[in-house]
Amino acid sequence: MTERGRKALLLAPAGIWLLVMLALPLLVVFVFSFGERGAAGGYVPAFTLEQYANLPARWTAFKNTLILAPLGTIAALVIAYPLAYFLAVRCSPKWRTSLLILVIVPFWTSILIRSYAWIFILGGRGLPALLESIGIDDIRLINTPFAVLVGIVYGYLPLMVFPIFVSLDKLDKRLLEASADLGSTPWRTFRQVTLPLSVPGIATGCMLVFILLMGEFLIPAILGGGKVFFVGNALVDLFLQSRNWAYGSAVAMTLVVVMLVTVSIYMKFISRLGGQRQDVSLM
């Protein structure tokens, strides 16, 4: 067997899996998006752009997703980076494994249970009651964008921590020592050495969190209380409640296109940033 044949044989299982589990379902959704809703719901074959013309009716869901998903990603990054930096650079190896396990522990329970716990914390008997006891009245946290933001940051924080931790853990500590020996301040060392070398981890973590948040529906449904909903919530309603599969497919395809464009722009920015950092390091 030739080298090309061996490579094709090795890649065949993954290729078949992607074709059956990704490409074909996406093709079905694409075809459905040009159809019509049947009298009893579901899908009726047709070729019309009516579903795409009705997309503005779901603008609120797209707006909430396009605002809260990037904000949640940025908030998770701001919280995760110091934690990952401490675990990889400052923490003693004696305690590192135990602290990493504590980061993983939330994944041992269902996101549903953890989200319901936040209902109590942000509800009338939680933080608002505590704030009221010190004279701050009329504070509503649950069923607000803030509650959804807190939930998604809490739920997806570990997915941001670990990629950054891996990048920082591979960091050659001798570079930090050399920077200090050359008279650089800790901030300058971080800005010119640590941060550029951790860009791959930042890029991976942001990609993981952002892509998952774009399709999130459970956290907005629980902590948003029907007042703050994402595109994922709109899709659940269209496919399972109103059974408008054609319109739901159009919304889904629009979400896919938005994600592809956003991720492409982001990756281009990250690659350009990495190239600039490499040029600076060679000067």
Residue 112 pLDDT: 87
Q: What is the number of alpha carbons within 13 Å of residue 3 lying toward its C-beta?
A: 0
Query: What pTM was computed for the model?
Result: 0.87
Tell me the β-bridge partners of 44: 36
CA–CA separation, 126 and 132 (whole Å):
10
Is the model's pLDDT at 282 over the cut of 60? no
- The candidate with the shortest Cα–Cα distance to 196, out of 182, 176, 177, is 176
Six token digits for residue 281: 């390091």
CB neighbour class for 96 (10 Å; exposed up to 12, middle 13-18, buried from 19): middle
Tell me the two tokens of residue 252: 């889904």
The answer to whether residue 272 scores a pLDDT higher than 90 is no
> What does pLDDT average to over the chain?
88
Going by C-alpha positions, the residue among 155, 152, 153 that lies closest to residue 220 is 152
Domain ranges of the chain: 55-273
Q: Where residue 174 falls among pLDDT bands split at 50, 70, 90?
A: confident
Q: Exposed (0-12), middle (13-18) or buried (19+): which is 184, by Cβ within 10 Å? A: middle
Fold of 55-273: MetI-like fold (1.10.3720)
Q: Using CA atoms in the order 150, 151, 154, 157, what is the torsion angle rounded to 10 degrees? A: -100
Q: What is the largest CA-CA distance in the chain?
A: 79
What is the pLDDT at residue 22?
87
**Amino acid at residue number 136:** I
